[in-house]
Structure 1
């Protein structure tokens, strides 16, 4: 096993930089730079020197002996001054040592997974936590990182193993009279797990939206003030505005934090009949993006006049509040009138929807849980035929158990791991 090292903090100049090592030669390498009397476990302030004895920097050295470390291996961290020259000098010195190499993206976390220090959902949670931009994303990622999804999956798995064991007992003693009918307990176990799976599957889409961001489309006729409103909401000139109708041809996206939720605002082309080919393409794109958005905000006098049907949850506000005498439910991107109220409305709708989010956050999670649920439904159907088909029911239970094992990363996830770890930085 190679010993790996990398800069664990962001690239660039900073007050402090952290360089991490992990592997069988981590402690030896640290001793060469920081002194042979380095404690096996603990913290010390040291003068770091290269192999010729030339000073590199003064810093803090943290040593973690296996298995009590992030990766489960011997781990050392150098906390040094974060200048580009200093970090480069220490990294270059480590690279010259035998048995050490620069880590690949996510390799520290991969070793933590392989050594049983983390589950696959926790790895995904860590990736999401690093990418979190809003409070809702932070809380969601922290829940996954804490092991909530893994614990839930393990509880389901334990119940299914119990159910399978009961059926196997009947199968093994088929030639003898079994004193107890196991089917009521098996059905109770299956019903509980099925109910939990159905609830969790239903919440995946919203949970995934919290992770990736809700899309809110601003829709209206040309010159309704959509781009001006977008600029007001974004706090900057994100979209070109003009008195000429049809200025917006493409969909303009602005990502922002709205009440702790990640939101991507979409400024779409004005909806109208047009003979202009390019504008027509923009309008067609606007309709498609609006249809797929999580929430639509209609900025218009009359929704029906645009040939669009209002759906439950859509918001309707009147345009150009600055040109109306004390109009209610109207907004102006020029003066800001009604904008705060609109933000509150959008936040309220999205927060209500977010309340139904489950712990599982990814399509991979949904697929694994749906596979388990399908197997349990087949199990329940087979059970109705009585003990003669218990062997088939037991096999369906094993299928469900394997699906849950893929959820927590026990089986069949090697290709997925490469994709996940590629998104990590070198020092993670």
Structure 2
């Protein structure tokens, strides 16, 4: 199994459908289309052609496109067959393709992998494309589109170029100090720029939580004592019966989750086991999971139908944002003290639900003022960026070793940045030096 194979796959959605798109990529794409359809369309021109198997049996008639490499999605010769989306039709065309020697079914993500290997996209763009396909909310779509189009890669590449330039200047100062056209002591300007770059990376990493919320959703845990109305609230917000609701305390034993779209953001609600003292081993495990979920949440909704009596059961949540929610206001004692809850609701009457939704929305990131969503979204991004920032910091330390060692720290920083996009730094420093200083003219 090599990149010399020509691969094919159904690239459109589930069958049956009005149209099904079968994609090919590899050196035999052009020849295969010629044999299936009788001729190869002009590059990037759609043609309506018959599609026949190798025995000449008519399979379908569809739109055929041919994309010669290297200016195709994968960088290889590619083709698309847009055919009728019936299961039998698609099965017959795929079977016909599998009969060609040198053709095989593509593995998961193999088209994008070839695009990366052939330099058509970097890792961040590939990840953005994957996120774009599964995006369910407007903000997820915007974030994924920004990354898939290379917006985030442009930022990282600009940082890599600054690191490469800094190293080039240091190398020039070390190796070509006797040359007339090499300025003396470039260190001051270089280290000023590296200090600014370190701060830019720090500021970028500070947006990691925002990127996490946009991509994966705001994790909201609904907690409280048994029968406080947690499952009823989950069902009400989901507009369907997700959780079982009874008058029996301890009905919910495990974590139940549902995803909502709130102001274009994904919000993931988690219903949890009621918090109380119990001897039931299963219920105790559910309560343990409740506390774990609260510790990992972006926001905790603490529900109670009594004025603050249940808050002490919830433990120390000082490190997490908390909304205290008074429930069952349709039958609540009017003696709730002022400030006893942040929001008062009744699932039965609907009272206060909009206020609760508005309160949750205040914990969503404010991205309207920004023109781009250049945010780190994956743990591997954060880890490599943190490494890059640490190496720059080491190079900037006043008591750091000589220029050659400090340049090595910058090389390691550039290598860490290269791991984010998949463009690990290659040593083109002399090219930079020659263009900057005309050395060796």
Say yes or no: TM over 0.5: yes
Q: Does 1:320 align with 2:328?
A: yes
Instruction: Confirm or deny that 1:364 pairs with 2:377.
Output: no
Deviation at 1:306, TM superposition (A): 2.0
Q: In the TM superposition, what are the counterparts of 1:191-206 in structure 2 within 5 Å?
A: 191-206=195-210
RMSD of aligned Cα (Å): 2.3
Give the structure 2 partner of residue 225 of structure 1: 229
Say whether 1:149 aligns with 2:162: no
**CA displacement at 1:333 relative to structure 2:** 2.0
- For 2:240 and 2:366, the matched residues in 1 are separated by 28
Match of 1:347 among 356, 361, 383: 361
CA contact (8 A) 2:30 2:40 kept: no
Contact preservation (8 Å) 2:123, 2:421: yes
Shift of 1:176: 7.9
Name which of 332, 336, 341 aligns with 2:350. Answer: 336
SS of the equivalent of 2:343 reads coil
Q: Map of 1:176-195 to 2, 5 A cutoff?
A: 180-195=184-199
Distance 1:286 1:400 in 2: 40
Q: Superposed, which structure 2 residues align to 1:371-382 within 5 Å?
A: 371-381=387-397
Q: CA deviation at 1:355?
A: 8.1
Conserved 8 A contact 2:147-2:374: no
Matched, 1:278 2:282: yes
Question: Could you say if the C-alpha distance between residues 200 and 268 of structure 1 is closer, same or farther in structure 2, counting changes exceeding 3 Å?
Answer: same
Q: Residues 89-128 of structure 1 correspond to what in structure 2 (within 5 A)?
A: 89-128=92-131
1:5·1:103 contact (CA, 8 Å) conserved in 2? yes
Q: Does 1:23 align with 2:17?
A: no
Rate the CA distance shift 1:353–1:15 in 2: closer, same or farther, 3 A.
Answer: closer
**Counterpart in the other structure of 2:435:** none
* Number of aligned positions between the proteins: 409
Residue 199 of structure 1 deviates from its aligned partner by: 1.0
Aligned-residue offset at 1:325: 8.0
Task: Quote the Cα distance in structure 1 between the aligned partners of 2:20 and 2:264.
Answer: 30
C-alpha separation in 1, matches of 2:367 and 2:132: 22
Counterpart secondary structure, 2:402? helix
Deviation at 1:258, TM superposition (A): 2.1
The 1-side partners of 2:169 and 2:277 are apart by 67
| CA distance in 2 between partners of 1:116 and 1:96 (Å) | 30
Contact preservation (8 Å) 1:203, 1:358: no
SS, match of residue 133 in structure 1 = coil
Q: Which runs of 5+ in 1 are unaligned?
A: 413-428
Separation (CA, whole Å) in 2 of partners of 1:351 and 1:366: 19
Report deviation, 1:291.
1.7
Structure 2 counterpart SS, 1:239: coil
State the alpha-carbon separation in 2 of the partners of residues 27 and 179 from structure 1: 55
TM-score by length of 2: 0.87
Instruction: Give the alignment partner of residue 244 of structure 1, picking from 239, 248, 251.
Output: 248
Q: Distance in 2 between matches of 1:286 and 1:353?
A: 31
Residues 60 and 79 in structure 1, CA contact (< 8 A), matched pair in contact too? yes
CA offsets per residue over residues 224-262 of structure 1, 9 Å max, x none? 111111110111111111112222222211122222211
| 1:293 matched to 2:300 | no
| Aligned partners of 1:17 and 1:79 also within 8 Å | yes
* 2-structure distance, mates of 1:304, 1:73: 62
* 8 A contact 2:40–2:66 mirrored in 1: no
Whole-angstrom distance in 2 between the partners of 1:99 and 1:123: 26
Q: Verify: 1:211 aligned to 2:225, yes or no.
A: no
Higher fraction of helix: 1
The corresponding residue for 1:416 is: none
Alignment CA distance shift 1:33-1:308 (3 Å): same
1:7 corresponds to which residue?
10
CA distance in structure 2 between the aligned counterparts of 1:37 and 1:393, rounded to whole angstroms: 57
Residues in 2 aligned to 1:176 and 1:23: alpha-carbon distance in whole angstroms: 51
Gaps of 5+ in 2: 337-341, 426-441
TM-score, structure 1 normalization: 0.90
- Give secondary structure in 1 for the equivalent of 2:246: coil
CA contact 2:389–2:413 (8 Å) conserved in 1: yes
- 3-state SS of paired residue (1:231): helix
Q: What secondary structure does 1:42 align onto? A: coil
Residue deviations 1:6-65 (CA, integer Å, cap 9, x gap): 111123210000001111110111111111363344110111112222211111001111
Aligned match of 2:91? 88
- Separation in 2, partners of 1:376, 1:390: 13
Structure scoring higher RCO (CA < 8 A, sep ≥ 6) equals: 1
